[in-house]
Structure 1
Amino acid sequence: MTIPVIPTTDVAPYDALLLHSFGGPEGPDDVMPFLRNVTAGRGIPDERLEQVAEHYLHFGGRSPINDQNAALLAALRAELDRRGVTLPTAWGNRNWDPFVTDTLRELHDAGHRRVLVLTTSAYACYSSCRQYGEDLARALATLESEGRQIAVDKVRPYFNSPGFVTANTDAVRGAVGSLGGNARTPHVVFVTHSIPTTMEDASGRDAPHGATYRDQHLDLARVVAGRLAAEGVPITWELAFCSRSGPPSQPWLSPDVNDVLEARHAEGVDGVVLAPIGFVSDHMEVVYDLDTEARETAERLGMRMVRAATAGTAEEFVAGLVDLVLERCGTERGEAPQRPAEGEIGPWPDACSPGGCWRRDGEDSGVPAAATRVDAEAVSA
Structure 2
Amino acid sequence: MVVSYDAILLASFGGPEGQADVIPFLKNVTRGKGIPEERLEEVAVHYRHHGGVSPINAQNRDLKAALEAELARQGIDLPVYWGNRNWNPYFTDALRELHADGKRDVLVIVTSAYTSYSGVGQYREDFERALDDTGLRGEVRISRIREFFDHPGFITPFVEGVRAALDELADAANTHVMFVTHSIPTAAATESGPEYGEGGAYEAQHRAAADAILRAVGTDAPHSLVYQSRSGSPSTPWLEPDINDAIAQLDGVDGLVIVPIGFVSDHMEVLWDLDNEAMESAGENSIRAVRVPTPGIHPAFVSGLVDLLRERIDEVPAAERPHESPLGPWPDHPAQGAALDAVVTNSR
Q: CA deviation at 1:207?
A: 7.6
Distance 1:276 1:258 in 2: 14
Residues 57-83 of structure 1: per-residue CA shift (max 9 Å, x gap): 121111011111111111111111111
State whether structure 2 residue 278 is matched by structure 1 residue 290: no
- Residue number in structure 2 paired with 1:96: 87
Give a deviation string over 1:69-107, Cα, whole Å, max 9, x none.
111111111111111110100110000001111111000
Aligned to 1:366: none
Matched, 1:51 2:32: no
**8 Å CA contact retained: 1:330, 1:336:** no
Say if 2:159 is the partner of 1:173.
no
Aligned partners of 2:227 and 2:257: how far apart in 1?
Answer: 14
What is aligned with 1:344?
Answer: 326
Moved more, 14-23 or 37-46: 37-46
**TM-score, structure 1 as length reference:** 0.84
Secondary structure of 1:18's aligned partner: strand
Secondary structure of residue in 2 paired with 1:174: helix
1:308: which partner in 2?
292
Question: Where do residues 160-199 of structure 1 align in structure 2 (5 Å cutoff)?
Answer: 160-184=150-174, 186-199=175-188
Cα deviation, residue 206, structure 1: 6.5
> For the residues of structure 2 that align with 1:336 and 1:347, how far apart are their CA atoms?
10
Percent identity (aligned): 51
Does residue 143 (structure 1) correspond to residue 143 (structure 2)? The answer is no
1:204 to 193, 200, 203: 193
- What is the TM-score of this pair, normalised by structure 2? 0.92
CA distance in structure 2 between the aligned counterparts of 1:328 and 1:205, rounded to whole angstroms: 27
Relative to structure 1, the CA distance from residue 65 to residue 297 in structure 2 (aligned partners, 3 Å threshold; closer, same or farther) is: same
Unaligned runs of 5+ in 2: 340-348
User: What residue in structure 2 maps to residue 120 of structure 1?
Assistant: 111
**Conserved 8 A contact 1:108-1:148:** no
- 8 Å CA contact 2:107–2:143 kept in 1: the answer is yes
Q: Which amino acid aligns with 1:289?
A: D
Per-residue CA deviation, residues 147-176 of structure 1 (Å, 9 max, x unaligned), is 882111100000011111111111111121
Contact 2:209 2:325 in 1 (8 A): yes
Ranges of 4+ aligned residues in structure 1 off by more than 4 Å? none
For each residue in 1:293-325, what CA deviation from the matched residue of structure 2 results, as whole angstroms up to 9, or x when unmatched?
Answer: 111111122210100010111111111110000
Partner of 2:310: 326
- SS in structure 1 of the partner of residue 314 of structure 2: helix
For residue 272 of structure 1, what is the aligned residue in structure 2?
256
The aligned amino acid for 1:188 is V
Q: What is the one-letter code of the residue matched to 1:263?
A: Q
Higher relative contact order (CA 8 A, sep 6+): 1
Query: CA distance change for structure 1 residues 211 and 199 in 2, over 3 Å: closer, same or farther?
Result: closer
Residues 74-89 of structure 1 mapped to structure 2, 5 A cutoff = 74-89=65-80
SS at the partner of 2:249?
A: helix
Q: Is the 8 A contact 1:141 1:376 kept in 2?
A: no
Report if the CA contact (8 A) 1:101-1:139 is conserved: yes
Task: Determine the C-alpha separation between the residues in 2 that align with 1:23 and 1:206.
Answer: 32
Q: Which residue of 2 aligns with 1:159?
A: 149
- Aligned-partner Cα distance in 2 for 1:252–1:49: 19
What SS class does the counterpart of residue 160 from structure 1 fall into?
Answer: coil
Q: Is 1:239 matched with 2:225?
A: yes
Q: Which runs of 5+ in 1 are unaligned?
A: 1-10, 352-371
